[in-house]
Amino acid sequence: MCGIAGIISAKANKEKLQQMLNLQKHRGPDHTGNYVDSCYCALGHNRLSIIDLSAKANQPFKDNSGRYHLTFNGEIYNYKELKQELKAYYNFKTASDTEVLLAAFIVWGKSCLNKLNGMFAFAIWDNKLKKLFAARDRFGVKPFFYSEENKDFYFSSEIKAIRSVLKSNQPNEQVWANYFTFGSYGMPSDTFYDEIFQLPGGHFLEYQAGNLKVTRWYDFEKNLSKYSKILSFEEAKQSYYKILIDSISLRFRADVPIGFNISGGVDSSLLLALVNRLNKNKHIKAYTFYAGDENYDELPWVQKMIETTRNPLTKVKIQPSDVIKKAQFLSNIQDEPYAGLPTLAYAALFENAKKDGIKVLLDGQGMDEQWAGYDYYQNPGTTATIQGTGKMSPFRVKVLNDDFKELAKKPGYPTPFDNDLQNLQYRDLFYTKIPRALRFNDRISMAYSTELREPFLDYRMVEFAFSQPKTYKIHNGIQKYLIREILKEIAPQDLSYAPKRPLQTPQREWVGNELKDFTEENIEKLRYSKISYWFNFEEMQREWNNYKAGDNQSSFHIWQWINAGLLMGN
């Protein structure tokens, strides 16, 4: 897990590159390196050492011939297996997955991407052809941002790095308008800033002589054809369990200490049970957060599960004062709006893990989308993208001025399947839930120089689960049915059939009470900001007064205003 950066330009220079690397050094504090090719290309890297801790594995990494140079963020989990395939064609000098990735590209070209099981964003410079090749993993776990300005091409792991070298630096008003109107966090290539884009997950780009070409390499729909055979429920359960075990095993490949995050839900309980089954007697450290509010805390469920495994558990309590202290820091880290108190609470886990010397954490992201765990999956025709708000809209578009509001365009999502359930799952995997969660989680884990691994987002698991019949996902109204049946065999049954609890923090209560002054400060920032013309402050004040008076079934719109104040109010 690292930070990457680069400049392709007739005047590429180390000074600008170093400026970019300094702004994302938290992503990789163990080593900072650069490579410059005769002013055509400058590549940079911030290293967080996880596999092969030696200096030989530092980046940018060059091949044996010196023609190719790689800067890479992520992990190739199946690097040992790929290395065995490549040994006949490439003479390895390190024990790193970095060198395996570069060798795979040299030997197999672009098709190497289909062989990789991992999370990655990387760029390879061919100093013979003067050509850049860059790619991002299937689901976009690792970030890749880029921009073109005056025939200069910039890329990095963080938006702030690119913003520091661009002359033009304006918010993307349509993306912001969509955020306030529809809760959209942008489509796969969008960011909240003009002229800064992200390479979508499952895509690669090529840049040569000023020409940019972006191509999709991961065809999810086509890959599902390999699962056309309908298995019995027991066969499906056994097949999925086998992939699940292998996925977790692969993600324990590291030369540094590993821990994991846990909540009281089905997914975390399954991860906890399997981690301990695969790593007997190692007592891997677990981390969980709580707020001291029994209406939201999952601590009783967590402790019940921990009682059966005896893992050391670090319980991190969050308080309103933590929000006040950390909100601006995390806003600066995120560069874009984030999801409120759950993100702040989650960040506290990484902060504590770092203090404990843990450099890799696992968590259970991805099960709800592949096994239909959200409540709206049972409502045909739903357009909901936010969990747990019921019938009430979480948006307050009346607070937007008319000219700004007109910029909003309701996002349209592909519907490549012949049923509502799979189309919703597809939307959440590639356009809404997963992209948002991965973005929030990558940036907060990197803020504390820790690597986050998502074993449940192994592409083999996602493809297999997605392809299964609806009744294996939702059975007699019970969601994530197959997963619950697996967990029932290895954990207490009251955990395997525990209901989903979408709300994890007392954000609604805190925002209108303990955080009232904090909220009003950020609303006030908007009044005097460069984006004040976006808002009708009389209407915003009315909505805020209503909220304080008890109209607080959803706090999403309040946190939107706080986000805007934190990001744009300076």
The amino acid present at 67, given as its one-letter code, is R
Q: Is 194 annotated as a binding residue?
A: no
Which residues, at least 6 apart from 80, have a Cβ–Cβ distance to it below 8 Å?
A: 253
HSE toward the beta carbon, residue 324, CA cutoff 13 A: 13
- 462 vs 464: CA distance, rounded Å: 6
Which residues, at least 6 apart from 412, have a Cβ–Cβ distance to it below 8 Å?
A: none
- 485 vs 525: CA distance, rounded Å: 50
- Rg of the Cα trace of the chain? 23
Q: Which two tokens stand for residue 8?
A: 């392709």
- 556 vs 394: CA distance, rounded Å: 6
Q: List phi, psi (to 5°) of 2.
A: -155, -170
- 406 vs 401: CA distance, rounded Å: 9
Q: Using alpha carbons only, what angle is made at residue 71 by residues 452 and 331, rounded to the nearest 5 degrees?
A: 45
Chain centroid to CA 566: 21
* Active-site residue, selected from the candidate residues 2, 39, 41, 112: 2
- 464 vs 239: CA distance, rounded Å: 9
Specify whether 41 is catalytic.
no
Strand partners, 120: 74
Annotated binding-site members for L-glutamine = 97
Annotated binding-site members = 97
> Which residues does the annotation mark as catalytic?
2
